[in-house]
Amino acid sequence: ARTDKLSRVGKLKRLAEELELHAGFTPREIDSDLKDKRDVLAYLQANKLSDVNGFGRVVASYYRDSGRVMEAVKKKKPPAQLLGG
């Protein structure tokens, strides 16, 4: 059976350079941002939140108030608290 997996081969040098130039991100900020996003995705997976509407609402919440979402992720709060339920 085939599995879908993403494997990091190396640093995203060109993308990192573009983000540094246009967004003012440092390499450390880029790594931190990517780690937070991986943590949110792992949280959604661990909580079996796979419906597109709930998933989209959590992602939208992250972009509105990443601090609140990251607090919920780190404290392992139920996704219902992020979804207003």
Domain ranges of the chain: 36-85
Residue from 16, 58, 20 nearest 39 by CA: 58
Q: Do 33 and 39 meet the contact criterion of CB atoms below 8 Å apart?
A: no
Instruction: Please tell me the predicted confidence (pLDDT) of residue 30.
Output: 84
Report whether pLDDT(2) > 80: no
Q: Could you read off the pLDDT of 12-70 as tens digits, one per residue? A: 677 778 878 888 888 888 889 889 999 999 999 999 988 899 999 999 999 999 999 99
Structural contact between residues 66 and 32, judged by C-beta atoms closer than 8 angstroms: no
CB distance 39 to 73 below 8 Å = yes
Cβ of 40: how many Cβ atoms within 10 Å?
20
> Confidence band (pLDDT; 50, 70, 90) for 4?
confident
Q: Residue 8: its pLDDT value, please?
A: 66
